[in-house]
Amino acid sequence: MRFRGALALQGSELIRPPSGLNRLDPPGISPGRSSAVAPARQRRQRRHWLLVTPLLAALALVGCVNVPRRAALRSDQQPLRVLASVLPVALFSRSIAAGCAEVESLLPANLGPHDWQATPADLVRLSQADVLVINGLGLESQLNKLVEASGNADLRVIDSSRGVATIANPAAMPAVAQAPQARQPQASAAVNPHIWLDPRRAAQQVVTIRDGLIAADPACGSRYRANAAAVLAELQHLDRDLARQFAPHAGRPLLALHAIGPYFAQRYRLRSAALVDDPEQSPSAADLERFGRLARQSGSAVRALVSEPQASSKAFLALAQDLGLPLVSFDPIETASADPRLGASYYVSTMCRNGLQLLQALGR
């Protein structure tokens, strides 16, 4: 299947990997837009187009659309060239591909998908890559035109969200984490894309990435399988520990700045409520009043409010002070200030810290 008649977008099945990628449906980085996109996300998507479109126009003017192309056939000595979009899939991809493929992050480790601005160098890297690994669910929708402009018709796209049950982004502040809904990934603000914050869903992403790499590079299949097995064992251990720690707190509320934790809350049977759905959305007076009322109604069940290191809100801080509650930090693993070559162990250690922070909010 072709992407806008120019680019073949291919993925891998989660449970039953196909014999080849060509028979698969396209992943969820379509140019379409959902009619249900919230205003704040629409503003962010418009900003993405404003960032990417001038770059493409400038490249066309100077004749740079014909970027350097990689050789059509890769020699046995040349490792597979893999680009990973956002930090979580980069962490998983590096660990799975170790010893077989070169994995680079398309986004700098210190930038999240909402702040990234494409450069001509990114276009060149896309033109020379063999594989692009994405999170999916609309998180990288700004890549559409950039990928097409790369002219790399042989680029394989692994959508790591394929087959993962999703949670809808509520139109209003939720009181309880919503039930999972199995669906095909869509580039829509109606779906929360932070699936990696549930270790079990993260394990599904690892399996999908593994299968996609094997399909792209069968000669290294045994290494990809062994590496992925080690990552899956780490994720299983992490999930078991977190489940044990949070079991006594089932049904307790987690009150957060914005909707980053529904997948975590759902997995460990916690109640998840957010002041705003989007980190770029400013809370209204009604939001603050409703959230404060929920916190007061929760009484001693709430010992702290949950913020995150990459986002801040003066209104949220003032509300915490008014309620007499401290703030604890939950890192959504969208950015990292450390070594950009980090692997899955960084994900595991960060999730362990997240667990300890949330246990403080629950008053363990």
- Residues 326-350 have pLDDT tens digits of 888 899 998 887 666 789 999 999 9
Q: How far apart are the first and last CA of the chain?
A: 52
Domains 2-168+197-219 and 241-362 share a fold: yes
At 209-226, the pLDDT tens digits run 999 999 999 999 999 999
Tell how far CA 236 is from the center of its chain: 19
- 8 Å CB contact between 144 and 28: no
Question: 83 phi and psi, to 5 degrees?
Answer: -110, 135
What would be the CATH architecture of the domain defined by 241-362? 3-Layer(aba) Sandwich (3.40)
Is residue 180 packed enough to be buried (19+ CB in 10 Å), middle (13-18) or exposed (0-12)? middle
- Per the CB < 8 A criterion, the answer to whether 364 and 251 are in contact is no
Tokens 């042989």 found at: 154
Instruction: Give Cα 311 to chain centroid, integer Å.
Output: 16
pTM for the structure as a whole: 0.75
What is the amino acid identity at position 170? P
Domain ranges of the chain: 2-168+197-219, 241-362
For the domain spanning 2-168+197-219, the CATH number is: 3.40.50.1980
| pLDDT tens by residue, 24-64 | 333 334 333 333 334 444 444 444 434 454 555 444 443 44
pLDDT digits (tens, 9 = 90+) for 66-104: 444 443 344 456 899 999 999 999 999 999 999 999 999
Strands (E), the chain: 2-3, 7-8, 80-84, 101-105, 131-134, 156-159, 253-258, 271-276, 305-307, 327-329
